Amino acid sequence: MLPTYVPVGITIFMATFIAVAAIVLGSILGPRKPSVRKLSPYESGMTPVGPAQKRLPIKFYLTAVLFILFDIEVVFFLPWAVVFRDLGLFGFLEMLVFVVILMIGLVYVWKRGALEWD
C-alpha cells in the first residue's frame, strides 16, 4: 500500500523544495537598493494621508460577501449548459428551480437594503 503514496510524497516534496528555493534565491540574488520612495507605503501612487488602519463601513464587507455568493452560484451554470441536451426537460426544470431560489435571495437582499449605498 505504501508504494501507491510515493508519487504523492514526491509531488509534495518537489512543490515544497521549489517554493523554498524560489524564496531563498530571490532573497540572495535580488537587488537591494532601498530608497525613501521604495520604503514608503504604496497607496495608489499617492502619498499616504491619515492612519493606515482605519475602519471601513460594513457595507463594503456585505457587498463583497454578496458578490462572492452570487458569483459562485453562477459557476453552476457552465456544467449545466454543457449537458443541457442530455438532461432534457428535467434538467431544465431543476435549473429553473435553482434560478428561482437565487432570485428569491436577490430580492430579499434588495428589499432589506443591503445594496443601498446611502
Say if residues 107 and 66 touch (Cβ distance below 8 Å): no
- Answer yes or no: is 116 within a domain: no
- Answer yes or no: is 117 within a domain: no
- Answer yes or no: is 70 within a domain: yes
Q: Which domain, by its residues, includes 35?
A: 2-111
- Answer yes or no: is 38 within a domain: yes
DSSP 44-93: TTB---S-SSPPPPHHHHHHHHHHHHHHHHHTTHHHHHHTHHHHHHHHHH
Q: How many whole angstroms separate alpha carbon 61 and alpha carbon 68? A: 11
- Answer yes or no: is 118 within a domain: no
Residue ranges of the chain with pLDDT lower than 70? Answer: 41-48, 52, 118
Tens-place pLDDT, residues 30-52: 888 888 777 776 666 666 677 76
CA torsion angle 83 89 94 96 (round to 10): 100
- Answer yes or no: is 102 within a domain: yes
- pLDDT confidence of residue 96: 94
Count how many domains the chain has: 1
Supply the pTM of this predicted model.
0.50
- Answer yes or no: is 96 within a domain: yes
Q: Among all chains, which residue has been given the C-alpha cell 437582499?
A: 109
Tens-place pLDDT, residues 49-62: 777 677 777 778 88
For residue 31, the domain's CATH number is 1.20.58
